[in-house]
A and B are shown apart, each in its own frame.
Chain A
Amino acid sequence: MPEGLLAPPTRDRLQSAANAADVRILAHAARARAVDLYLTNPSGRTRPNRRWKIDLDALAFDPLPAEAAKHEVAFSGSLGRAIALPLATAAREHAETLAHITRRIDLERSKFGALALGLSSFGALVHVPADYDVAEPIVITYNIDAIPAFPRTLVLLEPGARATVIVEFVNPTGAFVVGTSELIVEERAHLHYATAQRVDSGSVAVECALSHVGRDGSIALASADFGEGLILRDRDTSLDASGARMEQSAIFLPTGNGHLDVAATVRHVAGNTSSQTVVKAAAGDESIARFLGNIVILPHAAGSDASLRDDALILGPKAHIDSVPALEIACNDVKAYHGATIGAIDDEQIFYLRSRGLDENEARRTIALGFFKPVVDAFPTASLRESLTRRIVETLR
């Protein structure tokens, strides 16, 4: 390991950090078990080739900083009858709601979910009562301090509820953030959940997102990742009952020496469920992106309809993108589709636009923005779509 970098944390150091975390959110014994699982669970990232830059099973960080964390969470949006609270407050005032969510979300099965579970002392709870439609998007902003942060975002939509939740991170240089999204969408409820972040060089951002969708419920997940740091997402969506739907959209735009690794699983547990995943990736400079898209259709899920579309643009001469589809189908009478493309921007497209008066940079930008457009359109608000478009333009400049 190069001099000056941190080493992976020892078990003792992790246990000390777990003991220092807020006991009201989770008891020490449960935290101790979770950090042990972090140490023993594999990351699930086998190395596809030598380009892999970081050993994710031995990520280096110090879990126990000298000073107390000063992370903050802020909310905006008109809530009406919904609630949105910091996790510590929710642990005091809405313990039953938290228990209702955590009984169904098994963070321990994911390496990084277990880490967040073991060490998290802050986060947010959003709870929308039955048949209530939160008209405005609820925006959760995490202001991350310059030490490790483990924000947990828990969302419960009761039957028939509707809400849009946008999670934003304000990360300092060198941030180390391992967070969760724990989402329960009950029958007939609809959740639109979006997150966009830029991760600078030297920073690490990890998300473990686990979702359950009930009968005739739907979830739309949108994520956008930019930057030169390490970004890792583990997403697992379970369509638990007939009529449950998922739409998942992702933008990856790593640059510099960035390293982006996303594994997204959708589980068709019940029949007549549908899932649609659209990924648009572009890798610049010497960056790496990997997308593992996993469709699991369980034995009793007849009539399931799953599609996965993954398009990648190589923008830098040393950039690298891996697209790894996986289908595990244990049932007849299902529809499953997977399609992937990968390549550089087509010279004929560039020439076509130049012949109409656009200069080469403008042509490249126009083509790349068009490439991302279907996924940008999947984000919930006009201001978010505009800011994503701006970030794409800035990244491509």
Chain B
Amino acid sequence: MSETMGLRVAGLRATVENTEILRGIDLVVEPGKIHALMGPNGSGKSTLALSLAGHPHYQVTAGSATLDGTSMLDLSPEKRARAGLFLSFQYPAAIPGVKVANFLHAARQAVRPGSLAPAAFRAMLVEKMDILGMDPSFMGRYLNDGFSGGEKKRLEMLQMAMLAPKYAILDETDSGLDVDALRAVGDSIAALRASEEGRQAGMLIITHYPRILKHVTPDVVHVMMDGRIVLTGGHDLAERIEREGYDGIRDEVGARA
């Protein structure tokens, strides 16, 4: 693999309203690999996700982030998306009056222009919705408008499947989901990675809890505390967190409580 491939974050620092949240993040998600990013509330996981996606409320003050060699930090959010980055939102915005089907088509055209004929687009949509256990009536509903928490997360996964990004960041996609929805998320990730477009997709799965990792097996697990990645390991690290919580790790690395 080339030195530039991957979602590569180095020395990343970011502030929100003049408070530093990210205090030097180093992370490389290689193509085709699944990384889990775990950590307690307030450790900066969502800030990392939103900073990488280019949310205007987050100011990156130092460091770099590249996607297969393309520097992202100076790009607009839409150019990051077109470069192949996808963020599954923890709290997706509702947009009344915009039908899911029309939105998905516009988004697909924006990130992968002209790549699918309308009939192929519809066929792909039917297939992906089936994997996620979504009723066809979803397509006629307005984007996230009046959706339950579970419905919103399924729609985020459907978008990921339809946009087939090079790198996807899932920001607590598992939170608030019941067992069936959790399994659907896992199936959706597996289906993306089994598809031609998504075979080389790299993933960064942000979560509090190890339970999503029963449905998706990560190659690498990181633990984040106080705006830094304090520990990196294999799947066994997630199992340890399930047994011990974060306190043991906190003591071990001596991070500020």
Binding site for B on A (CB under 8 A): 346-349, 351-360, 362, 366-367, 369-374
Contacts and interface: CB of A to CB of B under 8 A. Distances in A.
B133 interface: no
Interface bin, chain B = 20 to 34
A303 to B, nearest CB: 29
B97 A372 contact: yes
A369 B143 CA distance: 13
Nearest to B98: A370
A369 B103 CA distance: 12
Nearest to A348: B93
14 contacts: A346-B93, A347-B56, A355-B78, A356-B111, A356-B159, A356-B163, A357-B82, A357-B107, A357-B110, A358-B106, A358-B107, A370-B95, A370-B143, A371-B96
B95 A367 contact: yes
Interface of B: 53-57, 76-78, 80-82, 86-87, 89, 92-98, 103, 106-107, 110-111, 142-143, 159, 163
A355 B54 contact: yes
Contacts of A349: 93-95
A352 B163 CA distance: 14
B97 A351 contact: no
A354 B93 contact: no
B91 to A, nearest CB: 8
A373 B92 CA distance: 21
Identify which of B77, B92, B143 gathers the most chain A CB atoms within 10 Å of its CB: B77
Contacts of B107: 356-358
B97 A374 contact: yes
A357 B95 contact: no
Contacts of B77: 351, 354-355
A371 B81 CA distance: 25
Given A352-B92, A355-B53, A358-B78, A371 B97 contact: yes
Nearest to A347: B56
Contacts of B53: 355
A70 to B, nearest CB: 42
A352 B87 CA distance: 9
Contacts of B81: 354-357
A353 B97 contact: no
Contact of B78 (A348, A354, A366, A374): A354
Identify which of A346, A359, A360, A370 gathers the most chain B CB atoms within 10 Å of its CB: A370
A295 B142 CA distance: 29
